[in-house]
Amino acid sequence: MTSLRPPTRAEQNAVGQDSATYAITVPPPARSWKTGLFATWQASWRPALVLLAVFLAWWLVAALKLVPAYLIPSPAAVGEVFVANWSQLLQHTAVTTQETVIGFVLAAVIGVATAVLLVYSPTAEKSIYPLILFAQVIPKIAIAPILVVWFGFGMSPKIILAVLIAFFPVVVSAVAGLRSVDPELLELSATMGASRWKTFRKVRFPTALPQLMSGLKVAVTLAVTGAVVGEFVGADQGLGFMLLLASGNLNAPLLFAVLILMSAIGIVLFVLVELLERLVIPWHASRRGGMMLAGA
């Protein structure tokens, strides 16, 4: 039995084979947990450094009293608000998070279903897609009072507004992904006798996943905005309601605390969608991580 070995330089020159070809044929080394930690550090140290610089600038402005405290409070004052009102802030954060998650999930399901309809039905595309664009142009803050009149002051108007804001990026990314499949793959699938459902499940949908996940990451942050905007118009709970109270009372520390919690909700949900992307399409995430690591 002949053993496999890497070709020598003389053998490569003899057959006209360069090092790039050899690099492609050799499987990459296995990734260890140390490699994963190094990649995570490479991806996170720059944002952490920028965040630290922003915090130091904030602390310096407050310490030197360059701006009045009722405009920009000190980090210590914001921390005192967190400690003094932690249970109340946690309760309102849970309400906004629930509205955001429900709105995002509904937007994802309805958006993907609509994208499939638009891709497979030219008639539906010509009839529905212009209406989707028209609805996206309308400012959602103008729709919020109507939703409050129709559905009251409960969670329904906030969820609907979150769906309306997060729906458009899901549809656009899903349509682009479903149409990005190689036509030769579709022809091969049809030649082998695969049904439309099997072609969608095995070819179209896996091809669309990278672009779809990108749209979902945009949509989940917009869903937070939709929920908060709905709370602005009519609510008695939620971070949007707390933001209005803090603004009306000129309570700058509470205002900053609520803004930090809103940002935290968006960041956590974005990270969760990012983790979902790594579970669903690990080959895409690993390739992107390798490109980022090589660029660093």
Q: For 137-148, what is each residue's pLDDT tens digit?
A: 888 788 888 888
The pLDDT score that the predictor gives to residue 109 is 95
In a domain, 76, yes or no: no
In a domain, 185, yes or no: yes
Q: What does the block give as tokens for 107?
A: 């937007």
In a domain, 186, yes or no: yes
Domain total in the chain: 1
The pLDDT score that the predictor gives to residue 138 is 81
The pLDDT score that the predictor gives to residue 136 is 82
The pLDDT score that the predictor gives to residue 285 is 55
pLDDT digits (tens, 9 = 90+) for 17-70: 444 433 334 444 444 444 544 555 566 667 778 878 887 887 888 778 777 777
In a domain, 27, yes or no: no
In a domain, 197, yes or no: yes
Helices (H), the chain: 9-15, 19-25, 33-63, 75-84, 86-120, 122-137, 140-151, 156-178, 183-191, 196-199, 205-233, 239-248, 252-280, 282-295
In a domain, 43, yes or no: no
Residue 282 belongs to a domain with what CATH number?
Answer: 1.10.3720.10
| Residue 241 belongs to domain spanning | 86-295
Task: Kindly give the parts of the chain with pLDDT less than 70.
Answer: 1-45, 284-296
In a domain, 183, yes or no: yes
Mean pLDDT for the chain? 78
CA 68 vs CA 62, 65, 71, 161, 221: distances in Å: 8, 6, 6, 36, 31
The pLDDT score that the predictor gives to residue 294 is 39
CA 54 vs CA 59, 135, 211, 261: distances in Å: 9, 37, 32, 17
In a domain, 276, yes or no: yes
The pLDDT score that the predictor gives to residue 128 is 86
The pLDDT score that the predictor gives to residue 286 is 52
Q: What does the block give as tokens for 171?
A: 């549809």
